[in-house]
Amino acid sequence: MLGEFCRERNKIYADICKTKAGSERFEERMVQTLAGAAKNKEVQCETIIMEDKGMMVTSWDLDNSLDASEIEPTSRAEGFGATTGGSSKSPTTKEQEQTVSVSSDRESAVPVRSQEEEKCHSEAILTSENLKQDLVIMERILMENIFQPKLAAYRQIPVLIEPDITSDRGDTATASEEDEEEEHDKEKKDEGKEGKGLIDPSMTINKTPEEDAAPRLEQLWSYTCDLTSGHSVSSMAWNKVNPDLLAIGYREFDSKDQKKGLACCWSLKNPMWPERIFQCDHGVTAVDFSLASPNLLAVGTSSGSVAVYDVRSRNDAAFLDSSASLNKHTGAVWQLRWVEQERGATEGDKKERLMCISADGRVTEWLIQQRLDCIDLMKLRRTEREKKKLPGEKERKSEAPISQQAAGMCFDFHPEDTDIYLAGTDEGHIYQCSCSGKEQILGTYRGHKGPVYRVAWNPSSTDMFLSCSADWSTILWHRDSQTPLLTFSSVTAFVHDIMWSPKSAFIFAAVKESRVEIWDLSVSIFNPVISHTANPEANLTSILFAKNTNCLLLGDSLGGVGVWELFNLDAPGSNKVGTLHDIVCPVGAV
């Protein structure tokens, strides 16, 4: 019905619209609509205060509130039961006081219990291994953001400079530039606090082309922290599987001030703090990683003890140690090395051995079993010095030495035949020995007049090796000649450590107290190509080349290890390696 009514009304309206035009019954007129007059009134009221409030509800809060709601009714029911149960008689005033006090004690115990549970739960979270691992990852990310340009330079990755984006609003651009300058100045101050002698790579922009093309060193960062300050860096070793992991041994610099030693594992992902810290009762004198088991770190100390640590474990206790060994060293372990040797009947059957040389004159092999025990490979004997008899001088009886053993200072195994090794002593002599025969000396090299601190085979020309001593000299030897080929002595200072470059048969580095020298025998055999004072306030104690980059690590007597980048040291090609013998050996000398 409603539909028909609407249709009729629409039809009537359509007819009216048709008859409207020209009809006298319709007339157009103006009509004004009157609106009521508006009036503004002022009203006085208090100031409306606006506040923003927020709260956070976690799943632990919900869980604790549910536990409290379950415990509270139970305790209240127990309180009421104690009040009403037992007798229908009305309780006395004394009984009412007792029941009220008991119920109030139970009710007050509920929030205390929940607080204790919440505290225990929070402590469990803070001490969980997952949280520690997350914090370590977060710290590494922050360190990589801070050291990103330097880590890129270490890995020889070009640093991308973001282009300057000009904005139409000059004020905004100026403000952003000022903020960047303030951040840059702050970074410079922080870098100055991190390590002394730190060189900003941007300073090389003002150098002349000749200076920029010359070989040079620039420091990237320094491995140092509060724990290592006051110690002396005694030894460094790269992990043989993970090239980002570095082990550093620390001992006391002054023998009068005996301190506990440290063995720290540093990672390139966090140059500010070590990943692992192993406390030792005595100064650490030698460290080395295993190749077969890269998680094992061998540590030698000044007391003669040897320990093996598992770097995967967060426990700082030694995995194995020589405290229970009846044949342990009685002098400082100056160097140790994991060496792969063929000991089986079939070719290629290699087994890794832990070798040590000590101040008690013994070269030992340590057996990794349920406990550490060793066997002697060599006992270094002292040699009698031949004294020239002056005319008219009576023959004197030679005085018996205090010890028949010569203190072993260093050793190095041949890069190709690990059965052959060199051993340096405090007498200044170098012995070529063999592991196959006990106390079998193949040759003696006499050239130093002081203790031999380091010997190193050339990794490319394996018939030559270097030695450094306290007599201020570094000597280049040939395996088949007992006469020194070359003697390098540029300054009057102890030569604490030497190392061949892994990329060139001609380049080696030496540390002489506060100076580091880089020699390139293809350029000059008389002067080093680089002679640099790393830190005037500290003496350099150890040196180590990086494996895959053009970088050099320098340890000092203040507990710092500086990472330096080498520039413009061209490694010769393989066709030049064969000419090393021609450069350093005269015709017919060997």
Q: In the structure, what pLDDT confidence band is assigned to residue 94 with cuts at 50, 70 and 90?
A: very low
Rg (CA), the chain: 41
CATH classification (class only), 210-343+350-382+402-584: mainly beta
Higher pLDDT, 403 or 356: 356
Contact 154, 565 (CB under 8 A): yes
Least confident span in 221-230, 286-295, 317-326, 332-341 = 317-326
pLDDT, position 89: 45
pLDDT score of 202 more than 50: no
Instruction: State the chain's mean pLDDT as an integer.
Output: 79
pLDDT, position 239: 95
pLDDT, position 101: 46
| DSSP string for residues in 113-138 | HHHHHHHHHHHHHHT-HHHHHHHHHH
pLDDT, position 254: 61
Q: Strand runs (DSSP E) across 479-582, as ranges?
A: 486-488, 495-500, 507-512, 515-520, 530-533, 540-545, 551-556, 561-567
pLDDT, position 392: 55
Q: In the structure, what pLDDT confidence band is assigned to residue 205 with cuts at 50, 70 and 90?
A: very low
Least confident span in 52-61, 284-293, 320-329, 384-393 = 384-393
pLDDT, position 587: 42
What is the pTM assigned to this prediction? 0.70
Query: CB-hemisphere CA count at 13 Å for 325?
Result: 23
pLDDT, position 364: 93
Contact 380, 424 (CB under 8 A): no
Mean pLDDT of 528-548: 90
| DSSP string for residues in 560-585 | -EEEEEEES-PPP-HHHHTTHHHHHS
Separation of alpha carbons 522 and 573, rounded Å: 11
Q: In the structure, what pLDDT confidence band is assigned to residue 446 with cuts at 50, 70 and 90?
A: very high
CA quadruple 197, 202, 208, 211: dihedral sign: positive
- Encoded tokens for 422: 């060199």
pLDDT, position 412: 95
Q: In the structure, what pLDDT confidence band is assigned to residue 232 with cuts at 50, 70 and 90?
A: very high
Separation of alpha carbons 301 and 333, rounded Å: 6
pLDDT digits (tens, 9 = 90+) for 469-489: 999 999 999 998 889 999 998
pLDDT score of 237 more than 80: yes
Least confident span in 221-230, 444-453, 505-514, 569-578 = 569-578
Contact 555, 284 (CB under 8 A): no
Q: Domain residue spans in the chain? A: 121-158, 210-343+350-382+402-584
pLDDT, position 517: 93
Helix (H) or strand (E) holding 10: helix 2-20
Number of H-type helices and E-type strands within the chain? 9, 28
